[in-house]
Amino acid sequence: MSVLVGKKAPHFSAPAVINGDEIIENFSLDQYLGKNHVVFFFYPKDFTFVCPTELHAFQSQLGEFEKRGVKVVACSTDSEESHYSWLQMPKEKGGIQGITYTIVADTTKSIATNYGILFGNYDYTESGELTSTGPMIAFRALFLIDKTGEVKHQVVNHLPLGRSVEETIRIVDALQHNELKGEVCPANWKKGEEAMAESFKGVAEYLSKH
């Protein structure tokens, strides 16, 4: 597993389902360069239990991301056909019908591998045959990517641990505040609260008030 913060997000081009009902062959995050911040998150598998709660949670807050100019993109190692089928299943039956953001199909597992969050490893036997250990699916990982394509934040959870969409929005707000104001954001900072000047004097002044 690797830390990508401060580095360019790995490039990929892969099949995906867009708008909840259309399969395309060559989806890439490159289309957002210079235009949008991106929340790119991985989930383990389609037709599971914790995963739909996360997918619906991101959908319920999609308007908050959109008004911040942020694109939300999901990804798992399932096929685009599996994504499409799950998208047609109603929420009350465990499906993700109503999800409108893009879901990428990482069937080769190369995207999860390049992002360093594949749960499992490839190896070779003594006879040269390729084998794998572990389930070979993605951990619950999330990457916040800025307009230049640089990763600014990442979080990786084990399979049983669902993520907080509210925390993701808070981190987006902190990044955008830093980009706009040049100020740094202290612990538990929320949009609209006082931030800190990026200097010893600024930090000292902030701490003197708190």
Catalytic sites, residue numbers: 51
List the structure tokens of 95: 């499906």
Q: 2 near 9, Cβ under 8 Å?
A: no
The per-residue DSSP string of 57-89 comes to HHHHTHHHHHHTTEEEEEEESS-HHHHHHHHTS
Interhelix angle 165-181/50-60, rounded to 10 degrees, is 40
| DSSP 8-state class, residue 117 | -
Q: Where are the beta strands (DSSP E) in 62-165?
A: 70-76, 102-105, 118-124, 130-138, 140-145, 151-157
Question: How far, in Å, CA of 66 to CA of 79, rounded?
Answer: 27
Residues 6+ apart with CB under 8 A from 14: 26, 27, 28, 104, 105, 106, 107, 108, 111
